[in-house]
């Protein structure tokens, strides 16, 4: 991957007020919610750029069954988590722009982390499956969020199999290093903001080996980006909102350092 961090080593500011998780970046970037064009490419500078994946059923990105599910929480969630990562770590983030790409776009190789919303409605095309396989094997990291129940899980897993037919999902808990990559999370306390389900977390590893790099993460029965989107408005309580930001920061720090 051509993405690089400034300096020779990744380092973080360890003394950060917890209040910054809900009060700093979200207020700056709160704005109207809307759907977007299928493709939006930020100017490449070498900085981390939040990248969401557009998709659709039947091969028509942004439409079909599930509608523009991939665009949920846009643009506030993308910008809020990016601004916080920029503020509390030494990973420089592109604050003025974000990416919206399809998986068969070569631009994904310029971005170390991809985020997919609502994968219960996701349909992957053969060209996207091939490109995703190359991306993950080259060092990329994929995050799934905002999907609930067995049907949505099964659809997500089926689409991933098109890219990585021999890989399996493994449940993880607070003991996994991803939950300690920046914040030391000893208890994951982020309930689903709107559905009465029990969140669970699953990982997929390079060569199916849990001792190697995690290449994909699934936040099943949860919607942590919903907290990022509405944090400026105070729609949800401060504790789960703060904890959702902690998870997000940890995910990106893990991806950038593995």
Query: pLDDT tens, 125-180?
Result: 999 999 999 999 999 999 999 999 999 999 999 999 999 999 999 999 999 999 99
Measured in whole angstroms, how far is the alpha carbon of residue 208 from the centre of its chain? 21
Question: Could you tell me whether strands 113-117 and 99-101 are parallel, antiparallel, or unpaired per DSSP bridges?
Answer: unpaired
Residue 20: pLDDT band with limits 50, 70, 90: very low
Measured in whole angstroms, how far is the alpha carbon of residue 257 from the centre of its chain? 15
pLDDT digits (tens, 9 = 90+) for 66-108: 458 999 999 999 999 999 999 999 999 999 999 999 999 999 9
Please tell me the number of Cα atoms within 13 Å of 123 on its side-chain side. Answer: 14
pLDDT of amino acid 70: 95
Number of Cβ atoms within 10 Å of the Cβ of 149: 12
pLDDT digits (tens, 9 = 90+) for 102-134: 999 999 999 999 999 999 999 999 999 999 999
pLDDT digits (tens, 9 = 90+) for 197-233: 999 999 999 999 999 999 999 999 999 999 999 999 9
pLDDT digits (tens, 9 = 90+) for 175-204: 999 999 999 999 999 999 999 999 999 999
The token duo for 207 is 């060569």
Domains in the chain (CATH in brackets) are 34-257 (3.40.50.12140)
Say whether pLDDT at 60 is over 50: no
pLDDT of amino acid 68: 82
SS (H, E, C) 17-64: CCCHHHHCHHHHHCCCCCCCCCCECCCCCCCECCEEECCCHHHCCCCC
- DSSP β-bridge partners for residue 220: 147, 200
Phi, psi of 124 (to 5 degrees): -100, 135
């Amino acid at each position: 991957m051509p993405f690089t961090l400034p300096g020779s080593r990744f380092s973080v500011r360890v003394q950060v007020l917890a209040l910054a998780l809900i009060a700093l970046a979200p207020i700056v970037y709160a704005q109207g919610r809307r759907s977007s064009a299928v493709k939006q490419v930020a100017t490449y500078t070498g900085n981390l750029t939040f990248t969401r994946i557009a998709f659709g059923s039947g091969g028509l990105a942004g439409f079909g069954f599930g509608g523009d599910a991939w665009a949920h929480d846009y643009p506030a969630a993308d910008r809020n988590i990016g601004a916080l990562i920029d503020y509390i770590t030494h990973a420089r983030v592109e604050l003025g722009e974000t990416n919206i790409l399809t998986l068969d776009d070569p631009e994904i190789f310029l971005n170390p982390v991809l985020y997919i919303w609502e994968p219960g409605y996701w349909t992957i095309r053969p060209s996207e499956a091939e490109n995703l396989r190359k991306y993950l094997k080259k060092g990329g990291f994929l995050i799934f969020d905002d999907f609930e129940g067995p049907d949505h899980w099964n659809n997500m897993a089926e689409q991933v199999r098109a890219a990585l037919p021999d890989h399996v999902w493994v449940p993880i808990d607070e003991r996994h290093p991803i939950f300690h990559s920046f914040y030391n999370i000893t208890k994951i306390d982020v309930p689903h903001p709107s559905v009465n389900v029990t969140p669970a977390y699953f990982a997929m590893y390079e060569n199916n080996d849990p001792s190697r790099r995690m290449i994909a993460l699934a936040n099943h029965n949860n919607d942590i980006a919903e907290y990022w989107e509405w944090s400026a408005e105070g729609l949800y309580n401060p504790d789960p909102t703060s904890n959702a930001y902690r998870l997000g920061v940890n995910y990106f720090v893990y991806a950038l350092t593995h």
